Every structure is written in structure tokens, then in C-alpha cells.
Structure 1
Amino acid sequence: MDKTIISEKFKLRGFWWLPLKENEIISGTLSYDPEGLMELDLDGTFWPETSINNNDYGYLPLLYGKTHDGKYCTLVDVYEVFSSLNYSHGSCIIITRVIFNQLYIGDGYVNPDLTLYKAALIEFMDLGAWMHQDPFSYQQLKEDSKEIIMYSKPPSISVDVEFIKATISINPVITHTRYYNSYTCTNKEIIRITPFSSQNIEWNLKVLFNLQKLFSLFIGRPIYIIRIQLLLFIDNEIKSRSQEKNFSPLVDLCFNQTTKREKRELLPPQIPFSCPILSNNWEIILNNWFEKSTSLETVTALNFGLSINRDLPVDFKFLAVIQAIESFHRIKGNNLYMSNEDYEPIREILIKAIPESLSSAHLDALKNRIKYGNQYSLQKLLELILKNLPDPIAYLITKNDNNFSRRVVDTRNYLVHRDKSLKSKAFDDKEMFNASENLKLLIEFLLLREIGLA
């Protein structure tokens, strides 16, 4: 059987049915591609009343299945994408293809709205390089002509994160593989998210994605998920199944990742912020990250999205970086010329000065500009940010160009308004690409400083 984990391609043949209709089964083959489609080809249909020529495709919130080797599958958000008539041996059946958003594989079924989990176990690519540990040692015993490879299990790292009421630990695991005249031992690290009380899938995925963004920041590229396992909370519904022989409470979760798998794993010297560098402040960093994750969600999502989508058009990338910088300082509240209380009477005076002869649409547009007139302009914002940076970081971003902030603003205004008078002042494509990379570096520095690292 193929490895049924989120990072591997696999096919599963089995029987499929609607919840509460286990007697009405349809055979079919499920195909999973971590960077492609997740689809199920059915030898039948769950929408027999729908005409083949009808453009109204079916939808199912849940679909259950059991593979020929006894694994239970739960498909979530199932959409019909194709159906046709198939004639074989004088009979006619409807062949249906469906796609789905999530797949759970284990020794039992789950319900995303109801099932609770005691923990989530996550394996990330490059996590071993980030840990920067070598638990193996070699020794040759001359007197016995023996060679010994010894494994010293590294200690686990565990932190209580009060904001999310959970413990996050990094635990070493050793695996063994033997084949003829070779024996392979591999050390890897598993991140375990253990909430103080069992939580649903939405909570677990939110914590997982926040960790993914954090480790991507440390590692310097988007981190890829190798495996997700969920530890079932044994409630009354699951309890009867848990008594069965060889029952495992672990459920694998598969879905399409936005992050693409890199061809090679990183080596420890390639990691900007490895575990040994962060270890003394790890508890503070982790708590700060989750405490501020909600307020910084727009910024971290934009930064992570830019890291994933390296092939974005340069102008789109530039505008997204500017949006992230503006969003960061809106959140921080460091973007006002004066207090909103002091600005309010000025705002009222400006609104009263607008001629009444203007159209309502024009009037609303001017009122909206006045409403935000107390916020720093982009140029003022950039100048203040750069002024408060360490000199080496400021140089990396501006290369000592005194007009950097002004040109960033001119470029943003040109891209937004397409004002031809600004074209000569704006960055060309090469300059815009370099400025985008440098401003993304600025965002990452601000995020690191926000969690107590920089």
C-alpha cells in the first residue's frame, strides 16, 4: 500500500457511501496528489436524479469510505465535477468524478464539525536542519574488529503557550530501515500540539498554519508539511471501535498545500535562525508569536504568500509588500500625525469647507480622504521606519539611497493611478524587483523584532 500521508501521491480503491447510508455503497478509486487534484472516480453516482446534461453539479459536505485494506476514509466538501454514461456488457451505468477539500484516513470516521482531538503531530521539511543536532556517533573497536554507531536521543523541547492554552513540543523520533546488507537509522523531529482541553480541527489547523509561518520566517523559505496526524479524543462514539484489535487513535489528514516541496532539504548553515540561536528565548518567542498572531494575521499572511508565490508579476509583488508595511503600522498605531481626539475638530472644519454643489459621490470621496487624513503618508511612514532600524539593516534595504522612500511612493502611486507624469520617477522592473525583495526583508525584520528576536 502507498504511504497515505499529505506529502505523497497515492491511490486507494474501496467502497464509498453517504453518512447513515452504509448499505448503499458505490465502488471507486481515490487519487491524491499533494500538488495536484484530490479526486474520486465512482462507478455510479450519488445524484441519480440529476440529468447528465444538466449543469447543476452536486455537493456533499461529507462522504465516507473504506479501502480494500481496511482503512476508513472521510472526505470533506465533496463536489461533483464530471459525470457520463458508460455502456459495458449490455448495461449502462453513470460514471462520476468528484473532488474534495480534505481527506482523513485512519481506523475510524470523523466529523469535522464534531470530532475533537487530544493532539496534533506535525512533521515539517527542514525541521531537522533547523534543530541542528547530530545524535549519531561512530566508534571503531580495534581489539574486536567491530564498528559501532551510537545514537544519543536529543532532549525534547516543550513550551506552554498560554494564549492558545496549549503545549507545543518538539520531540525526536528514530526510525529503522533494514534491507539485505544495509541498515539505516534516521533521526527526525515531530512537533506535537497538545491543547489543555481537546479541540476541533479548525483550532488545530489555525495553530498549525501559524507555526508554519513562524518556522518559514526562521528558515528563510516556505516550510513544507511532510505529515499531519491527529490524535482522536475517545468519546462514546469512538470508544466501541477503540476496543478493536490494532486500533490506532491517530488519523492522517491530507489536503492540497499552497507550499511546493523543494527538491533538496536545507543544511544547518543555510538556516538564518536555527534552534541553537533561539533556544534561550524560545519560550518568549513562541508566546509572543501566538499572542500577536491575530493582530498580525494580515501581515504574516501577505509575507508568507509572497514567499510561496515567487513567480508573481513584479508590480503585484511590490504593491503587496507596501500593503503589508502599511498594515503593520496601522496595527501598531504608530501612524498618526496627532491624536484622533485632536484631529476630530480639524476633520469637521475640512468637511464643512467642501462645496455643497458637488455630487454625492464626489462628496463621499472627499470625506473619505479627510477621514484618513490624520494617518501618516507612505513616505513619512517609511522614513520613520528606516530611521529606527540598525544601520546595517537600513543599508541592506536602501543601499544608502536618500531618495529611496520618495521613489517607493512614486512607484506605488504610478502603479495605482497610472499617472504618466510619475513614470520617469518610478522604479523600472529591475529596480522594482530589488525594492520588493528589500522591503520584504524589512517586513521580516519588523516581525522578528515584534516577537523579541531582533
Structure 2
Amino acid sequence: MRIEEEYVKSGYFWLPERKDRKIPGTLTISDGGDIELEVVGLFNENVESINDVDDLSRINGHIEKDGLVTLDSCFYTKKNISFGGISKSKVCVNRVLSGMAYEKDEYFTFNSFSFSVDCFDEWVGVTGIHVDNDWTNEIATITYKPQKNITHHLDNGMQLEICFEYTPPNSSKKTEAKITQRAYFKLLSEELRPLDDFIEVAFKLTNLMCFAVDDTVTIKNLIANSSEIQRELSEGGSYLVPIHIYYKSIPFSEKEPNKSWHQMLFSYGTIKNNAQNVFNSWINAYEIIAPALNLYFSTKSGAQKYLDGKFLALAQGLETYHRRTSDEKLMDTSEFESLVSKISENCPEKYLEWLNGRLMYGNEINLGKRLNRIIEPFKDRLGDKKQRNKLMRLIVDTRNYLTHYNEELKSRAAQGRELWFLCQKMEVIFQLHFLKVIGLTDEEIVSIVESSYPLKRKLNEI
């Protein structure tokens, strides 16, 4: 996750079951979500504890500015014990919930979960700020109209809102007038839901933003609320306590992307008339094509450090995508089973195990045929028949060479710059199919292809 401001805070920390022993320490959260707690001494400070495996599944604390915090799924990375002096130990923390001290076995449940991602304001493209310049009279007028939340209902029972918050100008400053607006997602649920339910949906929506922006964007500014966590106001009434959440999320890019809407694959304006269906289609797609999606995004987030690995992930992803969306076989199942039975009857017993291994996937179509089926809906965008056949043959030969390193295939496999262009071609095939996955019509896809600079560039390279 994106940590936009330095997070290094001191305080006192204790185990929920040992509130009587509080030790000083410093909590540090780095950009990307790496969390470390450095404490003076140990939570169980005795000589025997040095070699013991401590239960640090949950740690409570009280830190400067933020107040109460809960550190979840923790373990020591360095243990020191003092013998009259000062020693420091280090603890790795899986996630932090700031604003509440949860008990050892208390569940994290919430009704709402808000977050943003890099480039989200540019992707949404909705603003209430209006600037009117009267050059003749040398007058500039800036007005702001608060924007209404945009609501979408999800199939999982949650409500997804695109929300807008703003800060008005500081009335005490006479030399500056500044209005800022920030857009963010909010997931809402009438009943309390586990934190992991919200994180799972947020992860899928972040990946949707990566696809739409055509870059790796990172989740940030996570705040959850629960109807069960409220504080009383001195003048009466109560308010929901905001729980700020930190963890090491994926995808993550050290460099925050800076993109305007015309550099993206598509913006919210492209899908706004059918946005609810788009969000639901994307989230539901994970039930079927999650392995293919994960392979695709591994090539976009930098997980594949080498070009060979990126190509193999894309090739496997395309094959997996077709396998998950089609039940096409080489022959009818009953016909194949009959053929296997006849072959097995005539096979010497000592080779049966080997034969069964060979025939296990014998009714699957090969990669070349799968690529042909995948390319078919967009064949007009991928060159003439000769160019498409050459493309499919190159993908198959390169995959086979990089998988088996057969010297006979080396001369037919793509390498260097050609391999990079081949990856671009495979990536654009994925993107065209993902546009269908989110429910866009052929006409809408054509419109995106014609107006999206990143997609046009990749297709022109083809």
C-alpha cells in the first residue's frame, strides 16, 4: 500500500492478555506496507524466553497522535534481553489497525471500508471545481459545487460508492485561495463483515484500476468503520471511530504513476452508463479466471524481472484463460474414453502407469488451437491471416523452447527485441478479452480501441 507520509511513532505496547506489562517502542510503517515494531526489551522478559516461541499473534499499543493501535499477526525477527543494560528487540507486523485496541481473539468486523488508489481522481474525471476567467475585467472566479456520491450495488450484497471529499479555502489567508477535492471508493455493508471480505473486494477493484489505467496503481488511505465501535461526544450523541488500516498489499509500485485520462486504457466516463455491471462482471470473473488474471498482473507489476519469465507468464495466462472459459476437447469424451480403453487393453502391464500419465491430458487441445480460438474475436485487429498464423506459431515455438530448451527450436524462438514485441502482442490480446469480460459491447470495444492511445500503440506495433 502507498504510505504518503513518513510513519514513525513512539509509544507503549503490551500483549492483550498482559495489560500490566507495557514496554516502550517505536512503530514504523514504510511505503509499500512493511511494518516493524522495535521495543525495549521483550514482552516476556526472562532468560528462558530467549529460546521460546512467543505467541505474538496480537499486540496492543498506545502511540503518539494516533492513540490506541492493534498490531496483528506478529513475530520476533530479533530478540535481545538485557542484563542490567538496555536492549532492543524487533517484531515483524502483518497489519496495523489504528484507533482501537482489540482483545486477543476478537474478530475484526466492519460495516464500511473506504480506500483510494493512485490516479483515481484522473480516472474518475468528476470535479466540482469551476474556474471562470474574465480577461477583459481582469477578474478570476473560482467556485466549487460538492459532488454527490455515485452508488453501485454489488452482487455480493455490498454497496460500492465513488465518494468525493473536499477542503474549502482557509479564510484567514488573504493571499491564497485553495480548494482541493479527492475521490475515493467506499464499500458498505448493512451487516458486519470480516475485514478480509473488504480487503478481498478492494484487491479486485485495485486490479481493475490497474487494467483501466494500464499501469500498476497502489491502494492507499484505508479507513474502516463499525457500528459497534463508537465514541460519545461531550455535548451528547456519538460518532463512529475511524479505524486506519495498514498492511503490505499487492499490487505495489515504488514509483507512483502520473497519468492523465487520455493515457489510460479507459476512464470512468467510458463505462459510467454501465458501471455497475462492469464492477460486478470484473469481481465475479475472479471465480472463473483468477489464475489467468494473476498471471497477467504478475507481468504488469514487475513480479517478472526477466523478459523470458514475462513471456512464459503471458503464454501460460492465455492458455489458462481459454481453459477456464471453454470446455472444447480434441474429441467427444465418450469417444476418447473408448479409445483410451482400447489402447490400455493392448499395453503391457509394466508400461500402464507410464501410458496413463501420457493419456491423462490426451483429450486437451494444444496451445496453437487455444491461441487460434482466443484470437478469433479480434482477428481483424491482429493483421491478416498470414500475420496471425505467424504470430501464433512464434508464440508456440518460443513457449516450447523456453520450457524445454530444445536446441532444434532455438532458431525459431523469439529473442531480444522480437521477444519484447511478442509480449506486447500477447498483452494486447489479454486486454481486448478483459474488455469483453467486464461486459463491454463490440461497439464499445471498437470505440476504446480507436480512442485509447496505449491500445492503439500496441496494435500498431502488431
What TM-score, normalized to structure 2?
Answer: 0.86
Determine the structure 2 residue equivalent to 1:449: 436
For 2:343 and 2:104, how far apart are their aligned partners in 1? 56
Q: 2:204 aligned with 1:210, yes or no?
A: yes
Determine the structure 2 residue equivalent to 1:341: 334
Note closer, same or farther for the CA distance 1:149–1:15 as it changes in structure 2 (3 Å cut). same
For 1:161 and 1:36, how far apart are their aligned partners in 2? 28
Question: Partner letter of residue 342 of structure 2?
Answer: I
Aligned residues: 435
Q: Give, in angstroms, the shift of residue 110 of structure 1.
A: 7.0
For residues 11-60 of structure 1, give each alpha carbon's deviation from its aligned partner in whole angstroms, at most 9, with x where no partner exists. Answer: 11001000122111111011110237311110110243466875x66451
For 2:180 and 2:140, how far apart are their aligned partners in 1? 18
Identity of aligned residues (%): 21
Determine the structure 1 residue equivalent to 2:6: 9
Determine the structure 1 residue equivalent to 2:315: 322
Of residues 390, 414, 436, the one that matches 1:427 is 414
Q: Give, in angstroms, the shift of residue 93 of structure 1.
A: 4.2
Structure 1 contact 6–255 (Cα < 8 Å) conserved: no
Note closer, same or farther for the CA distance 1:171–1:69 as it changes in structure 2 (3 Å cut). closer
Q: 2:18 aligned with 1:26, yes or no?
A: no
Q: What 5-or-longer segments of structure 2 have no aligned partner?
A: 446-462
SS of the equivalent of 1:389 reads: helix
Q: Give, in angstroms, the shift of residue 438 of structure 1.
A: 1.6
SS of the equivalent of 2:146 reads: coil
Q: Give, in angstroms, the shift of residue 334 of structure 1.
A: 4.0
Matches within 5 A, 1:12-411: 12-35=9-32, 37-49=34-46, 54=51, 58-69=54-65, 71-85=67-81, 91-109=84-102, 114-139=107-132, 147-162=140-155, 164-176=156-168, 178=170, 180=173, 181-234=175-228, 238=229, 242-243=231-232, 248-258=240-250, 259-309=252-302, 312-358=305-351, 363-392=352-381, 394-395=382-383, 400=387, 402-411=389-398
For residues 162-187 of structure 1, give each alpha carbon's deviation from its aligned partner in whole angstroms, at most 9, with x where no partner exists. Answer: 2x111111011112464853232111
* RMSD (CA atoms): 2.8
Structure 2 contact 212–265 (Cα < 8 Å) conserved: yes
For residues 85-140 of structure 1, give each alpha carbon's deviation from its aligned partner in whole angstroms, at most 9, with x where no partner exists. Answer: 557xxx23442111111011115537786131011011111111111234222235
For 2:334 and 2:199, how far apart are their aligned partners in 1? 41
Question: Partner letter of residue 223 of structure 1?
Answer: V
For 1:446 and 1:210, how far apart are their aligned partners in 2? 17
For 1:364 and 1:9, how far apart are their aligned partners in 2? 60
Q: What 5-or-longer segments of structure 1 have no aligned partner?
A: none
For residues 313-351 of structure 1, give each alpha carbon's deviation from its aligned partner in whole angstroms, at most 9, with x where no partner exists. Answer: 111111111111111111112431233333221222233
What TM-score, normalized to structure 1?
Answer: 0.87
Structure 2 contact 213–266 (Cα < 8 Å) conserved: yes
Q: Give, in angstroms, the shift of residue 291 of structure 1.
A: 2.3
Structure 1 contact 17–64 (Cα < 8 Å) conserved: yes
Structure 2 contact 66–98 (Cα < 8 Å) conserved: no
For 2:78 and 2:33, how far apart are their aligned partners in 1? 17
For 1:111 and 1:391, how far apart are their aligned partners in 2? 60
Structure 2 contact 41–82 (Cα < 8 Å) conserved: no
